[in-house]
Structure 1
């Protein structure tokens, strides 16, 4: 009994970052386990016979039977799952049914393009959305500039609810075709990045800006902020030191979900702008029923989304150490 109490006391006295790391590591392992199960189930749940697809349209019944044996589809489902997990642990994502390339090589070739697009999108979202939301909240404080507040609410609500492929198509037509300002496809030049990044960023920028506007309005009404304002501090110090840190915790908590979902928008934008990333490749794989490629890309994109959420949690821990204990910022 005494040893149990002493062990609990040691855990209670452990550094906050240790408990934070243990919780987040457990969460990451659960998510990755779910991803592995889901990607394995793709082969089991997809209609049709994967062996027939892999063998080709003109394959004979004997060739299909041989292919089913080579793919391990003639074994029990648990045995197939064990083989799948074992291959993943060795970095083997399988081979494309159509090109016979290693899926790991396909991912390695395409991932840098998707990562470039997603990272630039995240930077644009945070750099634009947070100042925009704060600016509107400050300008419209205490009921001032109601027209500006109404216009901001309408525009951000409308754009934020518009799908990425619609925004992308409009950008292609207006900016690329009608005005001819920027290229609308490919990745040959730096200019080709602009329209895809704008397409995936516009919706999250509007949504996060609305969140920041609301959280800033709450912060501006707090007693500590009114006290700081009463000391006649410079506006730059007032808002950057006393307002920004206090609204970032709740803002980033919600924004983390949006930023992880940004990968889905990236996949769609890549198809619209013919960007040579994982998105265009997985669309091709789905239409061709190239299941190993679909499995590999879904697993990688899901892992990236998990990594983004983990990074957001680390940033929150650095900004507000109270979040390391798992308690709400306001508790």
Structure 2
């Protein structure tokens, strides 16, 4: 081993936390760069002329050419990319081709609505999965209640497999159109949040419930749990004090990976419920080839996903410091 390698290894042993955080931050930076580049390239792969689409098919050719020159779209892709990076570095997200609205203003007005339903859905998924999975494990451990176990497995497996947009459409048909219990679209009242949040939360909640049950069954078989039972401690105390904390690490690891997916999943759910978030803006702008809006929206959503993943990694390392040491 070279001197440099030995010094790096020694530094990792002495300072595992700084090394862990630096490695995660470096991955985050690389991922953000890929998101920026990907958003630039993908929108330009969509066939058609965005300026012509924005100005209309009857717009004069010289007007279209002037607008393309103003936006720099008459330059080659390399120059457009350099200009895009330069604008990002200065905090400029551009102007919508369709509405003329500053994209930064659109993001400020729409992003909170997207994050609201994503984080509410994440909280609901955890609030349902943890107690339900724990209860299911306690009730069906050691082969007890096989019919309940079969029903639980079938129901959670079915819900977990359904895509968000299918759940959104089904919830709309059942509770908005059929029973008229909740609004079909918009965010005018507190009731408007129910269906979008459920559409985002149901599948992750079902998947997490299955995981919580599996982890709880594993913990229930451990020696220290059997010892606690042998001491005739109250069942509720055993489950809360000994079982729940030891099944949380694996559960939170998977839950942390679901949060970014739920943020990304808002795009389709917002479209179904006409939710005024950034996801619905993405869907509309892709059709209109509104470069600036799509690039900004993909960048913001991608950054939110990556930052959420980074925060979850750090949180899990705090809960289990050994993981940070192992990774360094």
TM-score by length of 2: 0.93
Q: How does 1:193-232 map to 2 (within 5 A)?
A: 193-232=193-232
- Residue 307 of structure 1 deviates from its aligned partner by 1.9
- The equivalences for 1:266-305 within 5 A come to 266-305=266-305
- CA shift at 1:295, angstroms? 1.1
Give 2:52's aligned residue.
Answer: 52
Q: Which moved more, 1:69-78 or 1:201-210?
A: 69-78
User: Is the alpha carbon distance of 1:301 and 1:281 closer, same or farther for their aligned partners in structure 2, counting shifts above 3 Å?
Assistant: same
> Any conservation in 1 of the 2:17–2:324 contact (CA below 8 Å)?
yes
1:174 CA drift (Å): 1.8
Aligned partner of 1:78 in structure 2 is: 78
Partner residue, 1:10: 11
Superimposed CA distance per residue, residues 132-166 of structure 1 (whole angstroms, 9 cap, x where no aligned partner): 11111111100001111110110011111112222
In structure 1, the gaps of 5 or more residues are none
Instruction: Figure out how many residues of one structure are paired with residues of the other and give that number.
Output: 327
Query: Partner of 1:248 in structure 2?
Result: 248
* 2:103/2:293 contact within 8 Å kept: yes
Q: 1:96 to 1:139 in 2, by over 3 A?
A: same
Report the RMSD for the aligned CA atoms in angstroms.
2.0
Determine the C-alpha separation between the residues in 1 that align with 2:27 and 2:18.
14
Aligned-pair CA distance for 1:76: 3.1
Aligned partner of 2:314 in structure 1 is 314
Structure 1 residue 54 displacement after superposition:
4.3
SS in 2 for 1:280: helix
Does the CA-based 8 Å contact 1:114-1:278 persist in structure 2? yes
- Structure 1's consecutive aligned runs of 4 or more residues displaced over 6 angstroms after TM superposition are 1-4
Matched, 1:323 2:323: yes
**Contact preservation (8 Å) 2:185, 2:274:** yes
Contact 2:28 2:306 (C-alpha < 8 Å) held by counterparts = yes
SS in 1 for 2:323: helix
1:123 aligns with 2:123: yes
CA distance in 2, matches of 1:304, 1:234: 43
Alpha-carbon offset, residue 5 of structure 1: 4.5
User: Which residue does 1:162 correspond to in 2?
Assistant: 162
1: CA distance between counterparts of 2:55 and 2:179?
48
When normalised by structure 1's length, the TM-score is 0.92
Cα displacement string for residues 249-285 of structure 1 (whole angstroms, at most 9, x for unaligned residues): 2222222222211123322221211211112222211
| Whole-angstrom distance in 1 between the partners of 2:171 and 2:325 | 44
Matched-pair contact (CA < 8 Å) for 2:185–2:273? yes
The structure whose RCO (Cα within 8 Å, separation 6+) is larger is 2
5+ residue gaps, structure 2:
none
Q: Distance in 2 between matches of 1:40 and 1:271?
A: 23
Q: Which moved more, 1:132-141 or 1:248-257?
A: 248-257
Supply the distance in 1 between the matched residues of 2:24 and 2:233 (Cα, whole angstroms): 39
Aligned equivalent of 1:135: 135
